[in-house]
Structure 1
């Protein structure tokens, strides 16, 4: 039996393929529906588990996508397997491709100014039919409603927010309170990769679901962040024990 929603440590994930997400999200844009999309990996789940405010914010999202092989492993351990990992970066590229075909209005928010400008140039080159209505780096006062108003004034169909968790989801949540339309998705460090500043793992690493290992080899300082994965799997094992007791 396929579960449409799968709960892993309190975070409820949508259980769909990348193609299904893409179709639904583009349909929502066509129908002028608001969409708050969270791409969650084990690190985000562990953060939400210890921060009730962040957890409640994620629960308000329209879609929570399993971005991380750890989430897939965790869902299998709990007996409610998620059909596939959908990397946030891959979904962003797929949405850009669709937006290019539709001539959609896109806004890019986040990253450092040089990375942002390189990303803007790349989007203009690779997706010339996109209506790039605006861009802004991620260095601003997050309590400043003028930024939200400025983005909303461009009437974007899609806003990619590359600020990193938890800030990107907190900002999107604020934005959604007054927005009437638009798909907003937190994309973390995706502008770094799209701009060429960071290199994505070779295809063999992605295929074997060990993209995290490539990142660790390239950036050893990430070891502390990577420790979230074994902690996450331990928590999932504990949850499984609790469930089987009842």
Structure 2
């Protein structure tokens, strides 16, 4: 069994640090140990300060990965931890590749995105990865009646890996409210990953991601996000103050 991840804290939110997230999750998937994966970034951390329900979901999640540059830099510069960023989309892709290679037959489900986006994303993934068993997809735009049908589908099909792309905090709250439908599944909030896989949007060039500037490319693609991006400087200030306060209390 893989070693349990090390648990650190960023503004009171847990972050689990380890070297092999996909391997750890695959073990849990094979063992039928239900898992909620949170992809934590600066924006979500700030939202959690204002949204008690989101904060509680993050605290209760079995795995919280350092997805955003702000979270990683906090851990490196303020806590002196050797931490590598783990983008949620890359973790999701690695899991899919591993399942395809191992040909375990594990059932996968895509939920979220605009109409047809999840279906196109699933088609793309199945073309890229042989042996992948995607048993269903569902748009994130639907009526309450259709949502009830979605719940029935999940209950009947019991997928073991479920990607939910509804955006933050909706996807995190939805998973927490519905994970009992498939208690042995690994659930991951994947944000806009379906848009990337379906070709609806492009991911930032690797050199931007490697320099912790992926957020800049996202802002370029979606200028309307500028209000949400205000969370980044707010996170930086609060992180510095939080760290100084913690040090003064300890000394």
TM-score when scaled to structure 2? Answer: 0.90
Q: Is the contact between residue 109 and residue 136 of structure 2 (CA under 8 Å) also seen in structure 1? A: yes
Determine the structure 1 residue equivalent to 2:29: 29
Q: Is the contact between residue 122 and residue 195 of structure 1 (CA under 8 Å) also seen in structure 2? A: yes
Q: What is the Cα-based RMSD across aligned positions, in Å?
A: 1.8
**Per-residue deviation, 1:130:** 1.0
**Matches of 1:208 and 1:221 in 2, distance apart?**
23
Determine the structure 2 residue equivalent to 1:11: 13
Determine the structure 2 residue equivalent to 1:94: 94
1:117 paired with 2:119, answer yes
**Matches of 1:179 and 1:158 in 2, distance apart?**
10
1:83 paired with 2:83, answer yes
2:218 aligned counterpart, secondary structure: helix
Cα-to-partner distance string for 1:87-109 (whole Å, 9 max, x where unaligned): 00111110110121233211010
Determine the structure 2 residue equivalent to 1:50: 50
Q: Is the contact between residue 99 and residue 105 of structure 1 (CA under 8 Å) also seen in structure 2? A: no
Structure 2 CA distance for partners of 1:245 and 1:26, relative to 1, 3 Å: same
**Per-residue deviation, 1:127:** 1.8
**Divergent runs of 4+, >3 A:** 140-146
**Matches of 1:226 and 1:82 in 2, distance apart?**
26
1:164 paired with 2:170, answer no
Tell me how many residue pairs correspond in the alignment: 242
Q: Is the contact between residue 142 and residue 171 of structure 1 (CA under 8 Å) also seen in structure 2? A: no
TM-score when scaled to structure 1? Answer: 0.92
Q: What residue ranges of structure 2 are gaps of 5+ in the alignment? A: none
